[in-house]
Chains A and B, each alone.
Chain A
């Protein structure tokens, strides 16, 4: 019997014949923490009495969730991470560089790597064919010290995508549709493995968007094969040598196969307060939105800003709707400036944030008022997520977000996109 992507990578990294259900100890190739979970990780690391990092060059401390720091408590947390980097030789990614998952994709994760981060959206690097998963501070502290961790090898659900997106429909709509279909616990403890003609034709940014949200179905990883697209992406990022092809075996064993025809999808939105509470954007017309946020590790890349700028060019966002845009990284921001997207968005009424997580997790930079609603391109809409338990978060694509910013209510982007 052949192997799934998860079984292949964990076999290699554990030096065993890893099969779904096995418990293995796997080498960790890249480990990282960020500023909201990192301080606890550092404290646990210290309390464990560990002598040092197993691999300082592949241990990264990101300051991205609260940038620049909005409060004294967080400023001291940032200080702790910088001190720890100085003590241990870990790499530091400080304010303005961008969201950890975007930077891991741009310049760190390699196909076939095991990546462990103290953030649930670590799954994003599955877009590059890395077995990347989020863990808590204890697990990550131990992975930093020992350079390994234990896994239960997950069963895999195969998601086969065929056809191509129609106008106004994107990877975000695909993943929201999938989560609506299988539920927020539809892949708990399992791997989601993406394949099919449509995946082979998909560029890296949409792959990262889809892998990013695997956790919203409960999955341990969201894995894409490493193929020519992966190689081209890595080469464009100046690290072509990191490429190697990885594909599942044709006779691999999947718990279930889910087939999705992209041409049947329509702009999709998750309604409050769970990601699996999906509806078509057109059926939510009339829902007033006070804030639109375009950004994050899910949809803050260059193509996302390009789509939004395309819809907003020469127009003005609705006076009743605040439009906030946060590029996912410094590279994205620079490229978006060069391409004129930032200028277009600012002219349309957008407030631009520094690269980082922005208002996604309710820390700062766009906390909602009582009863207010936000249409966000981020990945989570739990009650209280954007800083106020009495507010409402809807999730959609950058196109849906831009169309909504224009009208002030949830809008199917096909209504405003040129033929």
Chain B
């Protein structure tokens, strides 16, 4: 995967990603997705292109269980989230939608850097700076869900959880 880094700071909450004031659009996902991360960076949605990456600090996605948060990020074209740490429910929700999450110290990546990611190997190459990073391992069960493109396709295939 290749794309551009969009950097965000620490504690980006689900209210930053898609606030409650747009709840009336939750059954109109294309309209909802136009507001992704609007309160953290109002220009993000106009600049992000298919394949790009969100590169965040600590505790990305804290707050609500709304799966709409990773959903609108995915709909915006983001192909993976890179962060120092990710809140628990958001982490599981992203994987359940087939949106990869890579955890490592993201300080070395600059806003706008071109990145190349090898998901299988867990390596992140910063083509702009020439630096390379390695992400932490995620539980095997989550890798298998991710491999199937998310939890619903996984359950459709296996009919049950296969640990």
Q: Which of B73-96 contact A (CB under 8 A)?
A: 85, 87-89, 92-93, 96
Residues in chain A near residue B15, CB distance under 8 A: 362, 380, 382-385
Asked whether any CB of chain A lies closer than 8 Å to the CB of B26, the reply is yes
Name which residue of chain B comes closest to A35, CB basis: B23
CA distance A23 to B143 in the complex (A): 13
Residues in chain A near residue B26, CB distance under 8 A: 36, 39-40, 73, 77
Partner of A387, one of B13, B21, B64: B21
Residues in chain A near residue B65, CB distance under 8 A: 37, 117-120, 122, 134-136
Partner of B11, one of A44, A145, A184: A184
Which range contains the number of B residues in contact with the other chain? 35 or more
Residues in chain B near residue A309, CB distance under 8 A: none
Residues in chain B near residue A39, CB distance under 8 A: 26-27
Interface string of A72-84 (1 = CB under 8 A from B): 1110110010000
Asked whether any CB of chain A lies closer than 8 Å to the CB of B130, the reply is no
Partner of A185, one of B24, B66, B85: B85
Residues in chain A near residue B92, CB distance under 8 A: 135-136, 139
B62 adjacent to A37 (CB under 8 Å): no
- A120-B89, A136-B89 are known contacts. Are A362 and B20 too (CB-CB below 8 A)? yes
CA distance A70 to B156 in the complex (A): 36
Which stretch from B105-113, B118-126, B147-155 is at the chain A interface?
B147-155
Asked whether any CB of chain B lies closer than 8 Å to the CB of A93, the reply is no
CA distance A48 to B158 in the complex (A): 12
The smallest C-beta distance from B57 to any residue of chain A, in angstroms, reads 11
Q: Which of B134-155 contact A (CB under 8 A)?
A: 139-141, 150-152, 155
Partner of B21, one of A40, A117, A367: A367
- A40-B67, A138-B151, A185-B62 are known contacts. Are A80 and B27 too (CB-CB below 8 A)? yes
The smallest C-beta distance from A80 to any residue of chain B, in angstroms, reads 7
Asked whether any CB of chain B lies closer than 8 Å to the CB of A55, the reply is no
A47 adjacent to B19 (CB under 8 Å): no
Number of cross-chain contacts by CB at 8 Å: 150
Name which residue of chain B comes closest to A66, CB basis: B23
Asked whether any CB of chain A lies closer than 8 Å to the CB of B101, the reply is no
Which stretch from A146-154, A155-163, A323-331 is at the chain B interface?
A146-154
CA distance A367 to B155 in the complex (A): 40
B151 adjacent to A142 (CB under 8 Å): yes
Partner of A274, one of B11, B93, B140, B151: B11
The smallest C-beta distance from A391 to any residue of chain B, in angstroms, reads 11
Asked whether any CB of chain B lies closer than 8 Å to the CB of A105, the reply is no
A73 adjacent to B27 (CB under 8 Å): yes
Residues in chain A near residue B63, CB distance under 8 A: 120, 380, 382
Name which residue of chain A comes closest to B40, CB basis: A383
Residues in chain B near residue A281, CB distance under 8 A: none
Residues in chain A near residue B96, CB distance under 8 A: 136, 138-139
Q: Which of A69-102 contact B (CB under 8 A)?
A: 70-74, 76-77, 80
Interchain residue pairs with CB less than 8 A apart (29): A23-B140, A47-B152, A49-B156, A71-B24, A72-B24, A76-B27, A77-B27, A80-B27, A119-B64, A119-B65, A122-B65, A134-B89, A137-B93, A138-B152, A139-B92, A142-B151, A150-B141, A184-B11, A185-B58, A218-B62, A220-B88, A361-B20, A362-B19, A380-B15, A383-B15, A384-B20, A385-B19, A387-B20, A389-B39
Given A73-B23, A136-B66, A146-B155, 14 more pairs with CB closer than 8 A: A23-B139, A40-B67, A47-B152, A48-B156, A49-B156, A73-B25, A73-B27, A120-B65, A120-B89, A136-B67, A138-B96, A380-B15, A382-B15, A384-B16
